[in-house]
Amino acid sequence: MQSKFIKILAAILLIPILYGLGVYVARGEVRTDAEYPESFQNAAAFCAGNDAAQVLKFSPGQEQEIQAALNSLTECTTIQLAAGRFVFNNALTIAGVDGITLAGAGQKATTIQFVDAINVNGVDVESANQFTIRDLKIVDSPKNAVEIRLSENIHIDRVTTTWSITQGPERGKNGAYGFYPVNVSNVLLENSESFYASDAGIYVGQCINAVVRNNLAEQNVMGLEIENTVNAEVYDNVVKNNTGGLLVYDLNKNTIVTRNVRVHRNTVVDNNNDNFSNAGIVKSVPAGVGFIITAAREVEIFDNTFGNNNTTDIALFSGLITETPDFGEWAQNNFRLHSIYIHDNIFNGGSGDSIDNGRTNVESRPLGKLMESLFQIWNEERASAGGAALKVPNISYDGVDKGRTLLVLTNTMFGNQPGNHNQICLKDNDRGAIQPTLGDYNMPALLNNSAEPTDESMRAAIQAGEVVVYENGEDGYGGAPEAGFACEGFRATGVPVNFPAASAAR
């Protein structure tokens, strides 16, 4: 009898230990080593001196001949499209051949349009290294306008992607992405434009070494997205009039963990369009968010201009919050947001006045509704004490840090502990019309060990001083890493491969 009791006791003690060990292993980041070509080489450089290189020229009306040529491509072939409108009902597919160039006579001169095409990409590229696409416009692709997979040394230059449906909820039927390089090493995307994509106009995902520069993203749900990517330079882009502007994000459990991303000299303004997405993560993005950084690390943000983003200019979120607010379903890997350095940016004001344009939806966009409820309660408390109303701070931080314990999946594990464990670093963002504010919402305190926050838990957290808005220069906004939100000691180093200097502007 005593032996049986000891075994039961041992099992009771062993279960939480094994559970804790499992949680510890499951929640550890799994990183892939960055492997990439030593230098960037576009099709022209790769094919220089190749005696077998050829140029095949086509005019509108020769669409069948173009499809036949694509089916029998040889290395270092240029498909040269004349000015005019080319109409296709199937994808332009390039697979398993290197050194291919698809070129038009100019973004405003050559148009590839898809009519009566069903569930296909526009230009569909797979396992084709040293691929270049340039000087053309792609209209009405059913899926992604330009999708490139499992390739190296990709150059996208002076390309426009757009859709004909530009108004109303019907825009949700547009293709998801304008540009969609995924699982690519060395991608240069420049001087291009994307409009009316139902997910993201410009997307770079699960890539190693990416330069995204001098592009325009407008009238999309999300303007420009960097996802699960190692080593990226995102600069000199204009991201405006989308639902949300920029997004740096990690999908859960992907072994390519975002790191070493520099975002600079971009204009991120007026991203207040209503969300017209029908599917995917971006469906939950409230209108009016300038820049979202979620579950990413080693991201440096500087010399950018922000303004007139109705919800907030910059939102910093843990993957635990964006994946699901239910603790029982929290993501296991790559949840943590850390090492974010925001400095020397220009904030011109006009942001934070109307969360989700005043049309929050708890079902489809719960984060927007949560922020609205939080600030309504907060301002009620301030008014009762004779204080002025708050609008949403320029920088919104959910306050979920790595916590202290292994066994308790509550705010003691993923809590907002004293200090700045996630190294959210803010400094010298005072070059614009206003000094940006920082809101630390302390989501674990708002949840109060429940699956979802309630009005009562939010009010209690506010009354306890666990939710804070910092003005620039106040205690907590500046100081050492262990004390506040101004810390140095890391800078993103950018892309280790030499890409060519910027070519002609759009």
Based on the number of CB atoms within 10 Å of its own CB, is 68 exposed (0-12), middle (13-18) or buried (19 or more)?
Answer: exposed
Whole-model pTM: value is: 0.91
Q: Report pLDDT digits (tens) over 435-473.
A: 999 999 988 888 877 778 899 999 999 999 889 888 876
247 contacts: CB under 8 Å, gap ≥ 6: 200, 222, 224, 225, 226, 227, 282, 291, 292, 293, 294
Q: Where are the alpha helices (DSSP H) in 227-276?
A: none
Angle made by CA atoms 398, 410, 26, in degrees to the nearest 5: 90
pLDDT score, position 300: 96
Tokens of 382: 């301030």
Q: How confident is the model at residue 486 (pLDDT cuts 50, 70, 90)?
A: confident
> Per residue in 255-293, is it b (16+ CB within 10 Å) or e — as a string?
ebbbbbbbbbebbbbbbbbebbbeeebbbbbbbbbbbbb
Lowest mean pLDDT among 30-44, 75-89, 159-173: 30-44
Tokens of 481: 């890493």
pLDDT at residue 216 is higher than 70: yes
- The residue whose two tokens read 């530009």 is 166
Q: Report pLDDT digits (tens) over 348-371.
A: 999 999 999 999 988 889 889 999
The Cα–Cα gap between 442 and 398 comes to 6
Give the distance from CA 230 to its chain's centroid: 13
pLDDT score, position 503: 72
Domains of the chain, by residue range, sit at: 35-162, 202-498
Q: Where are the alpha helices (DSSP H) in 385-474?
A: 443-447, 455-463
pLDDT at residue 335 is higher than 90: no
Q: Report pLDDT digits (tens) over 369-426.
A: 999 999 999 999 999 999 999 999 999 999 887 653 333 344 444 555 667 888 898 9
Lowest mean pLDDT among 17-31, 63-77, 184-198, 345-359: 17-31
Give yes or no for a contact between 486 and 427, defined as CB atoms under 8 angstroms apart.
yes
For the chain, what is the mean pLDDT? 88
What's the rounded mean pLDDT across residues 171-185? 97
Q: Report pLDDT digits (tens) over 491-505.
A: 899 899 999 998 766
Give yes or no for a contact between 293 and 319, defined as CB atoms under 8 angstroms apart.
no
Q: Report pLDDT digits (tens) over 258-306.
A: 999 999 999 999 999 999 998 888 888 999 999 999 999 999 999 999 9
The Cα–Cα gap between 396 and 120 comes to 38
Based on the number of CB atoms within 10 Å of its own CB, is 169 exposed (0-12), middle (13-18) or buried (19 or more)?
Answer: exposed
pLDDT score, position 480: 57
Task: Of 187, 231, 184, 247, give the one whose Cα is nearest residue 213.
Answer: 187
Q: Where are the alpha helices (DSSP H) in 217-288?
A: none
Q: Report pLDDT digits (tens) over 98-133.
A: 999 999 999 999 999 999 999 999 999 999 999 999
Q: How confident is the model at residue 487 (pLDDT cuts 50, 70, 90)?
A: confident
Tokens of 278: 């029908």
Type of residue found at 123: V
